[in-house]
A and B are shown apart, each in its own frame.
Chain A
Amino acid sequence: MVAEIFHFQEQHWHLSPQRAIFWEEEKALILSDLHLGKAAHFRKAGIAVPAGIVQEDLFRLQQLITQFLPERIIIVGDMFHSRENNEVHYFKLWRQQFSRISFDLVKGNHDIMPDAVYEELQINVHPALTLRNIHFIHEPCEDNNGFAYTFSGHLHPAFVMHGAGRQRLRLPCFYFGRHCGILPAFGHFTGSASLDPEEMDPVFVIAGKTIIRAQ
């Protein structure tokens, strides 16, 4: 897995095909929309989606941590899918391996568990977060909000490419809009929505084990 280094806003952003960004200057791993506990939530309601998705998602996160050795992990919302369930407890055990790394959650619309639970999981919860004038907030902003740049999630973006012979390809992507960048959904059990980006805005698609700049 080779990350693509994108120099942007005078910072170095390592875009990983594992659906996260490593921010070199801040030693921070940035990701969004994990939706931990989603499969368990379904299964509790009698909908037999496969178990084991959470293990895979967290294993991927573990690999990213080993690769980049971040000091903090910023989650731009929707870390957990719904109410507390056993997958949340699984996360708690998993979390203990990385007790020195701080987890900063920017609250998303799915993050509805009581404050005490996050405290117990050693997760710092913020309505929004700003570092080096770079702003993190779950839902993307349309206009200039006064910060140098903003990162969001929420949309689970995908990019559609058309070509000769009526070919069409749709892939998850990192999108760098004028004011706001949007992260791909990290969780595997999440859908995606097609973006319609401005022509000049950088878009990086995730093509299996590589990152390719699509525009």
Chain B
Amino acid sequence: MQQRSGGWKVINNWLGEKELKPFKFQQDAWKAYLQGKSGIVNAPTGFGKTFSLFLGAVIAWIDAHPKDYSHKTKNGLQLLWITPLRALAKDLGRAMESALQELNVPWQVGIRSGDTPVATRAAQKKQMPEVLIITPESLHLLLAQKEYPAVFKHLHTVVVDEWHELIGSKRGVMVELGLSRLRGLCKDRLKVWGISATIGNLDEALEVLLGPYHSDGLIIRAKLKKNIALKSVIPHEIENYPWAGHLGIRMLPQALPIINDSQTTLIFTNTRSQSELWYQALLREDPMLAGALALHHGSIDMELRIWVEEALHNGILKAVVCTASLDLGVDFRPVDSVIQVGSPKGVARFLQRAGRSGHQPGAISKIFFLPTHALELVEAAALKAAMEQDLIESRMPVLLAYDVLLQYLMTLAVSDGFHAHEIWEEVRHTFCYQHITEDDWQWLLSFLTTGGEALGSYDEFKKVEREGNFYICRSRMMAMRHRLHIGTIVSDAMLKVKFMSGGYIGVIEEGFISRLSPGDSFTLAGRNLEFILIKDMTVLVRKSNSKRSIVPSYQGGRIPLSSNLGRMLREKFNEALSGNTKDPELIALQPLFNLQEELSHIPKANELLIEQITTKDGYHLFVYPFEGRLVHEVMAALLAYRISRIQPITFSIAMNDYGFELLSDQPIPLTTENAKQLFSTENLLVELQTSVNSTEMARRKFRDIAVIAGLIFQGYPGKHKANRHLQSSASLLFNVFKDYDPQNLLLKQAFNEAFFYQMEEARLRETLERIAVSRIVITTPQKLTPFCFPIKVDSLRDTMTSEKLEDRIKKLITVNG
């Protein structure tokens, strides 16, 4: 093939002039591409994964137009490049443009994202560039335009970059749906490729990308290994009561030497609030960093973020404190060290972050693990072991997301309208909706046309009109509202933050601001701000000199431990207990383990530890399965439910990645005799459902769903007054659906999300089976143990009760009486 392809020669010559040779996986990808195949390229960042597919398309183009490829322009959109992050688009575009220029191929490369100016969009509408780099949301916005099929008339290739990032999320579902439409439009000529880092379920990722019925997809593996050097920063002093509350700030002096010894350091934190705190603390600790230290997270103004990214590129910055916002792709050459503050909670994420340093092929990625509390050192040891064994997590694809499908159908309705038969065929051939029933489909259509269960003549529901099998939205107002709404796959209502005097700072969660009073100070984008008022969906602030300010905490902050890491963690505890460990992390923790053993017990791999402790707060029951927050949340609900059937009792429930707590105002009737029974798998499915339904889990899931499905009115610019009457909270909607429309599919989805993914039922069952053959060790420590302490201080709590409401109230009144 190589011999016959003129394009291939052109590329080889070009690379040869630069004294470069293509990697084997790049050549494999070109070959497969030229054969008309679809698939996934699996390669780490920094090895030219972009060119493995981009150049494939260029080769094919040169082959098809050997004589005039160097002056053929205005060819229409050929290649659509989907990327999860807007920040990546610019970099990528630049790399493609310079390659095209040197190859003398006069293709245009365009970018389409939320930041693309109106003028550029209009120009693109007239003449699409040959290559368009786009986010999943912007792709759906294209599908929401009138006469959108014309845009894709010449399209033959779609590449989905960073597919591993998208696959486990509803944005991934947006990609699946977008692809299903493009396949419908372009038929067989469409080639679909993904680019993915290594994940545990790469084969499944291929199936999600191409649909469960695909026949000839293939995976091209780069077989290149990144050299990663992981070093834990071990605290000078191990505290006996590990507490995540100080967010690792105490360890900050030990981070400074790393920053000083490196050219540029990225400091990854797990939450935005943590990054704000670290930024402030670093400046306090080392004022010399002023001007050379920057902050980067998802709530910061776009322009500022772009500036930070450019400055990173150019090597102006010494260090950047960031969150997952800098996890992806962009190539920052000057970065030679990465500090991970707190546990990354998963092997894949850790590898990704490590890869941000030493971005050149062959370079060593240096990453320092800085624990926020002592127990996290065990996680560091577990991470190291998991990395050595290549235990990389799977990303579970989202199934039956009715909310995203409703949004998508509305998108098609506001552009040209859609024929239900045609779209049904496309949708049910996607991975996400392969098990959708005809009944569900009819329900979704009627939800859009009649608003679900209607009440005859009194109903004035208006959204999508039905003409036989054709569905269309003719209201310009609703179409406009929907277009503004696409892309709000975010969890909470975010408000803009602006100075009184003008000047945009960033966005903040509505829930946070609603707890502030005017005059309170808070921190955003590294600044101290005084809250003045909320006006027209904007938070107005002025600079604050207050020493005390509140750092907003964001809902999305808690990442659960992956199952792989959980298993490693149990092994490491086992190892620590054996006393002959070589891990420096475990050795450092010996005093803490000694205290745990003295007060209670350290569970071996075949044991389940339960601690019963009484404090002035009440009666605590701590259970340590080491299975991660998600499994613990459901397990706690299940155990609480089962105990509550023994006698009327009310629990408040808390959990972390190591274990969970049931807290009650009365002694908890769990004994050596009934413990095994309380953890049995008998009747599991039914009892799980009941226990999940009686907590707030589904209600929390419903927030996202209501926003995505368009039930939460977000308002449109310039029309605030009239909209006030359309405001309602997701929680209120959840209540009215539960009471008046319990069969609603969106409600069902909320329960499913709480039930199936969250708890990963299979994983829970495995855990219970493991417990069934384990020895249950119940201790009654006289005071709090190192293990239980971090759980007890957690304030995020759920409730489970079997007491009568009146009895509960009467008890509460007596207590306060």
Task: Give chain A's interface residues, CB within 8 Å of chain B.
Answer: 38-53, 55-56, 81-82, 85-87, 89-90, 110, 161-169, 171, 188-191, 205, 207-208, 210, 212, 214-215
Contacts and interface: CB of A to CB of B under 8 A. Distances in A.
Given A52-B740, A165-B619, A166-B617, A47 B809 contact: no
Contacts of A52: 453, 455, 740
Nearest to B737: A50
Given A188-B736, A208-B806, A167 B799 contact: yes
A42 to B, nearest CB: 6
B810 interface: yes
A191 B736 CA distance: 11
B459 A81 contact: no
B618 interface: yes
Contacts of B388: none
A169 B455 CA distance: 35
A125 B342 CA distance: 61
Contacts of A86: 457-460
A14 B737 CA distance: 31
B808 interface: yes
B805 A165 contact: no
B725 A110 contact: yes
Majority SS at the chain A contact face: mixed
A171 B619 CA distance: 25
B796 to A, nearest CB: 11
B663 A165 contact: yes
A167 B652 contact: yes
Interface in B720-763: 725-726, 728-729, 731-733, 736-737, 739-741, 744
A161 B812 contact: yes
B475 to A, nearest CB: 8
B377 to A, nearest CB: 29
Contact of A166 (B481, B663, B741): B663
A49 B733 contact: yes
Interface in B134-148: none
A90 B458 CA distance: 8
Highest count of chain A CB atoms <10 Å: which of B458, B713, B816: B458
B670 to A, nearest CB: 15
5 contacts: A38-B725, A40-B460, A51-B455, A165-B651, A205-B809
Interface residues of B, number: 54
Nearest to B651: A165
B736 A51 contact: no
B710 interface: yes
B741 A50 contact: yes
Contacts of A50: 452-453, 736-737, 740-741, 744
B650 interface: yes
B189 interface: no
B811 interface: yes
Contacts of B729: 191
Contacts of B665: 163-165, 167
A44 B799 contact: no
Contacts of B458: 40, 51, 86-87, 89-90
Contacts of B617: 164-166
Contacts of A110: 725
A167 B812 contact: yes
A109 B729 CA distance: 19
B364 to A, nearest CB: 48
B5 interface: no
